[in-house]
Structure 1
Amino acid sequence: MNLKDLSENRYSVRAYLPQVVEREKIDYILNCARLAPSACNFQPWQFYVITDQSVKLKIHEAYDREWFKTAPLCIVVCKDSASSWKRTATDQKDFGDVDAAIAAEHICLAAAEIGLGTCWVCNFKPDVLAEALNLDANIEPIAIFPLGYIDEEKSRVPEKKRKTLSDITRWI
Structure 2
Amino acid sequence: MNILELSQTRFSARKYTDEPVSSDDLNYILECVRMAPSAVNRQPWKFVVVRSKEARENLWRAYDREWFRTAPLYIVCMKNNNECWTRRYDDKPHGDIDVAIAVEHLCLAAAERGLGTCWVCNYDTNVMSELFPSDNYETVAIIPIGHIAEDCPRAEKKRKAMDEIVEEI
* TM-score (structure 2 length as normaliser): 0.97
Q: Determine helix, strand or coil for the equivalent of 2:92.
A: coil
Q: Determine helix, strand or coil for the equivalent of 2:49.
A: strand
Any runs of at least 4 consecutive aligned residues in structure 1 with deviations exceeding 6 A, and if so which?
none
Which residue of the partner structure matches residue 73 of structure 2? 73
**Residues in 2 aligned to 1:61 and 1:120: alpha-carbon distance in whole angstroms:** 17
- Show the 5 A alignment for 1:143-154: 143-152=141-150, 154=151
- Show the 5 A alignment for 1:1-80: 1-80=1-80
For the aligned residue pairs, the C-alpha RMSD in angstroms reads 0.9
- 1:32 deviates by 0.2
**Residues in 2 aligned to 1:16 and 1:135: alpha-carbon distance in whole angstroms:** 29
**Residues in 2 aligned to 1:130 and 1:46: alpha-carbon distance in whole angstroms:** 14
- Uncovered stretches (5+) of structure 1, i.e. residues with no partner: none
- 1:91 deviates by 2.1
**Residues in 2 aligned to 1:14 and 1:166: alpha-carbon distance in whole angstroms:** 31
The percent of aligned pairs where both chains have the same amino acid is: 49
Whether 1:105 aligns to 2:128 is no
* TM-score (structure 1 length as normaliser): 0.95
Is residue 12–residue 119 contact of structure 1 (8 Å, CA) maintained in 2? yes
Whether 1:164 aligns to 2:161 is yes
Aligned length: 169
Q: Determine helix, strand or coil for the equivalent of 1:43.
A: coil
- 1:130 deviates by 2.3
**Residues in 1 aligned to 2:157 and 2:29: alpha-carbon distance in whole angstroms:** 24
- Uncovered stretches (5+) of structure 2, i.e. residues with no partner: none
The letter for the 2-side match of 1:129 is M
